[in-house]
A and B are shown apart, each in its own frame.
Chain A
Amino acid sequence: MMLELASDQGATLEERDLNTSPLAVRGLTVSYGQKPAVFSVDMTVQPDAMTAIIGPNGAGKSTLLKAALGIVKPLSGQVSVFGYPLEDQRARIAYVPQRASVDWDFPTRVIDVVLMGLSRQLGLLGRVRARHKARAMDCLHRVGMRDFADRQIGQLSGGQQQRVFLARALAQDADLYLLDEPFAGVDAATEKAIISVLKSLKQSHKTVVVVHHDLATVTDYFDHVFLINTHKVAEGPVAEAFTAENLQNAYGGRLATAQIDQISHVSG
């Protein structure tokens, strides 16, 4: 536990994390009404790696991400991005929200959604030029959606919608990518396409954080895990932190013991 480590040296270690980590969260508490969804959470995301945030339903995974991005207002706590306040670093963050969070009936085409990722670059009145279009098409190509550029977004399948969201994030050309349940309800082909894009991001020294719900794929996909159940359960490299004990701690009795055994053998 942390308390044994809590010496002066530990404190300086923490301060340094706060200064350099792509995303560092300290003492974050978010509450909907009287029930905290996230309680006093510290998180230090490792650079150039893929981190999974995992935990049971209602454990505060998405809330943690949204609070870190300033989408929901925390009750207390601090967030730093690459060592600076969030507001100064917006341009370096790309966010992929849950698919269900937007109105897919909105009158717009796939290409327009991807171009939204370029809007910081374009400013208020900047015209969309050929090179912007080319860039957006390139991002669509990377997620295998090039042929769908002129489709209305409502006509896409769930997996295709998710890929369009990822393409929009790619267009932002950020250093830190935050994805909220990108694999929820998508087909196998989409899952494969997304994970290969994410792995290529890692190779080009980007940091990727994913809210993830499928324990079976954690060891295949990710380098680091962050286990949460309202408060932090564990954090670290998959080999160290993704253990049966930590999972039991995070999921309590809700996860069948057999399932944990199976997974811990895999990660074993």
Chain B
Amino acid sequence: MSGAEFVPLSLTPMLIGTFAAIACALPGNFLVLRKQALIGDAISHVVLPGIVVAFLLTGTISTWPMMLGAAGAAILAVVMIEAVRRLGQIEAGAAMGVVFTTMFAGGVLLLEQTDTSTVHLDVEHALYGNLESLIWLDASGWASLLDPVALAGLPPELPRIAVTLIAVCLFIWVLWRPLKISTFDEGFARTMGIRTGALSLALVITAAVAAVAAFDAVGSIIVIAMFICPPAAARMMTNRLEVQIGWSVLFATLSAILGYVLAGYGPLWLGAADAVSAAGMIATVSGVTLAVCAVLGPCRHRVGAQTSA
């Protein structure tokens, strides 16, 4: 395939998909280890109502209000889940189930109440994204990467997800030690003076930011696959957190690129005319990766003396 075709049509969606997958997989490692994997589930379901409310308030579908709306909804959801869990003494899973389904229902209802057919805001798009449309029409080949005029025409999602990815990396890098200690042994972390409650909230907010930024690329449901599948698969490959992070980044990248290629070109190879959903295929590939690791990964089994007081 020539650069003239690849760069404008496939390069940007691939990069966006890859960045989104890594930005979600990094905090996902900690969420999975903390048995909070489903926070990702909850966050991703409330992105839709957040965006709808932002649209209703501003009347536009411009980027920043929507990002803020989605992030606000994610934080509101986290606070509500904590409130229901503590005040109602309800187990965390059920508390999440109550909160995110309700907010999702509210979002759908609001969406139906307003006429959004004129703007490009529909449930399906919110649910499974639109990676294929993030193309770079100003590019004419590899040379465009150095051409300021063409670069100005990059889809805005690309710099946005790139900035998000950098922010997520910074967060993990700076707070690596407290994150690791408090994930392993929260009581000990507190005696070291680590504010575990604040740290835990910061992790969830980071995950929410990643989910929101990844959302318009891959849709809100498939974000969950990026949170969970690469870290879960990576866990089966190693017994060291540092190495696990590396594997998870590798698996996330693999899923994003392979998923995009299979979605775009797979049907053509099979003789069909049209591509299938790239986001869906990325989730599928990440699932296959997980399945392979679950069957063959060297560290797939629980081992040794389990905790028995």
Contacts and interface: CB of A to CB of B under 8 A. Distances in A.
Interface centre among B33, B184, B299, B302 (most CB of A within 10 A): B184
Interface in A63-120: 66, 69-71, 87, 90, 93-95, 97-109, 112-113, 116, 119-120
B185 A90 contact: no
Contacts of B190: 69-71
Contacts, number: 108
Contacts of B308: 100, 158, 185
Interface size, A (range): 35 or more
A157 interface: yes
A94 B309 CA distance: 21
A154 B191 contact: no
A155 interface: yes
A107 B175 contact: no
Interface stretch (B103-111, B202-210, B232-240, B285-293): B232-240
Contacts of B241: 106-108, 112
Interface of A, helix, strand, loop or mixed by DSSP: mixed
B184 A90 contact: no
A13 interface: no
Given A93-B191, A161-B305, A124 B185 contact: no
Contact of B240 (A70, A97, A109): A109
A95 B191 contact: yes
Contact of B181 (A99, A119, A152): A119
A124 B175 contact: yes
Contact of A119 (B177, B239, B305, B309): B177
Contacts of A106: 33, 183-184, 241
Given A71-B191, A101-B187, A124-B174, A108 B240 contact: yes
Interface in A111-168: 112-113, 116, 119-120, 122, 124-125, 152-158, 161, 168
A195 interface: no
Contacts of B181: 116, 119
Contacts of A71: 187, 190-191
Nearest to B173: A125
Nearest to A91: B193
Interface size, B (range): 20 to 34
B117 interface: no
A97 B177 contact: no
A101 B186 CA distance: 9
B304 interface: yes
A88 B181 CA distance: 20
Nearest to A184: B309
B188 interface: yes
A66 B309 contact: no
B178 interface: yes
Interface in A32-52: none
B178 A155 contact: no
Given A106-B33, A107-B239, A185-B309, A154 B302 contact: yes
B184 A116 contact: yes
Contact of B187 (A95, A155, A168): A95
B193 A124 contact: no
Contacts of B235: 107
Complex A-B, nearest 10 residue pairs according to Cβ-Cβ distance, in ascending order: A152-B239, A100-B309, A95-B191, A154-B304, A90-B193, A155-B304, A100-B307, A102-B185, A97-B187, A106-B184
Given A102-B184, A107-B240, A112-B240, 12 more contacts: A90-B191, A90-B192, A94-B191, A95-B188, A99-B309, A103-B184, A106-B33, A107-B244, A152-B239, A152-B304, A184-B309, A185-B309
26 contacts: A71-B187, A93-B191, A95-B188, A95-B191, A97-B188, A98-B309, A99-B309, A101-B185, A102-B307, A104-B306, A105-B302, A106-B184, A108-B184, A108-B240, A109-B239, A112-B241, A116-B181, A116-B185, A124-B174, A124-B178, A125-B173, A152-B303, A153-B304, A154-B304, A158-B305, A168-B188
Interface of A: 66, 69-71, 87, 90, 93-95, 97-109, 112-113, 116, 119-120, 122, 124-125, 152-158, 161, 168, 184-185
